[in-house]
Amino acid sequence: MLVLGIETSCDETAAAVVDEGGRVLSDVVHSQIALHAPYGGVVPELASRDHLRLARPVVEAALERAGVALSDLDGIAVTCCPGLAGALLVGVQLASGLAWAADKPLVGVDHLVGHLLAVFLRHPGQPSAPPDFPFIALLASGGHTALYHVAGPWLERVTELGATRDDAAGEAFDKVAKLLGLGYPGGPIIDRLAREGDPEAIPLSRPMAGRRTLEFSFSGLKTQVMRYVAEHGAPGNDQRLRDLCAAFQRRVVESLVSQALRACEQEGCPSLVLAGGVAGNSALRALAEEQGARRGVRVVVPAMVSCTDNAAMIALAGLQRLARGDDDRGALVTSPRTQLERVTRKGRGLR
């Protein structure tokens, strides 16, 4: 079974072909970082126009690299939510046109479910075997930060345990980087500078410390950095900048890891999956593996290329629905809200 995945939810135009075993036959991603960098963040109108310009060539490249034609596919999967409405519409319209032209089934995929299942993609050199169900997933990205109990590959088997009250983790990284004049996207820049800094040199308190909850909050930590800059001035390209980046990153990472491991303990799950763009952060990976080993929790992280937005994860998530005989042709609509919001409050719901 071969599935074409299309992803245009934000600032990556992506297409990929994946087989029923999760083997990635092609994975083409065009990033818009350079387009949005002058503005310090994603500009929705510019993102939509760039998707419109590149979506077809990216899909053609994915099919060519996989060595397949549209007629060889068993179905098409496309991100339908959440994301920027205009950006999502480009991908959905392209996928719908291809599905009708080739008479192939089409399914819409929740972008977040794609991230949760990305750990099952089979890339060359995949560092570890995928986890067994159920597992706890920490999904941390520029737009979302939440903990999920994942009992199976289908949307209705995912339960949200706790989410951020304000900023997403990746959003906090970007905002602090902008405050410090470091550029966009901020996460990789702060991660690089933090490796040469002392995380204890500048006192910043950990968000939500001591509270028995699985929620997150990062706006207060961002405010601490803002107050430090107001009192001491913005650091230049010196050791103080590296120390501030290290202190900020350490507090974010400590919050993410402590909450994730608490969820593993609460739910009795021996496996923790890191997902989303922030899962590529070196400090997060290191601390999660260190603390997980101490508590008997196996930490599994997707290949680095599968952490950020990509279409392979959309193809894999769509494959689950196609295998059940689902077909959204004629009924597929886009939404800036996640489909998970409609299912996670059932059963155990939020805690």
N-terminal to C-terminal alpha carbon distance within the chain? 38
**The predicted structure's pLDDT at residue 80:** 97
Q: Taking 70 as the threshold, does the pLDDT of residue 128 lie above it?
A: no
294: burial class by Cβ within 10 Å (0-12, 13-18, 19+)? exposed
C-alpha closest to that of 251 among 226, 216, 298 = 216
Question: Structure tokens of 332?
Answer: 């597929």
Residues 6+ away with beta carbon under 8 Å from 338: 81, 82, 110, 111, 112, 144
**The predicted structure's pLDDT at residue 348:** 43
Domain architecture of the chain: domains with CATH: 2-119+306-342 (3.30.420.40), 129-302 (3.30.420.40)
Q: Taking 80 as the threshold, does the pLDDT of residue 186 lie above it?
A: yes
**Of 86-95, 155-164, 206-215, which range is least confident?**
206-215
Mean pLDDT over 192-209 rounds to 94
**The predicted structure's pLDDT at residue 341:** 74
**Of 35-49, 279-293, 333-347, which range is least confident?**
333-347
Mean pLDDT over 137-159 rounds to 93
Q: Taking 70 as the threshold, does the pLDDT of residue 323 lie above it?
A: yes
Question: Tell me: the pLDDT tens digits for 210-268?
Answer: 778 899 999 999 999 999 999 999 898 899 999 999 999 999 999 999 999 999 999 99
CA distance 3 to 56: 16
What count of residues does the chain have? 351
pLDDT-based confidence at 350, cuts 50/70/90? Answer: very low
Question: Tell me: the pLDDT tens digits for 43-63?
Answer: 999 999 999 999 999 999 999
Mean pLDDT over 282-298 rounds to 97
**The predicted structure's pLDDT at residue 209:** 79
339: burial class by Cβ within 10 Å (0-12, 13-18, 19+)? buried
Question: Structure tokens of 171?
Answer: 């959003």
Phi and psi at residue 276, in whole multiples of 5°? Answer: 90, 170
* Cβ(37)–Cβ(29) below 8 Å: no
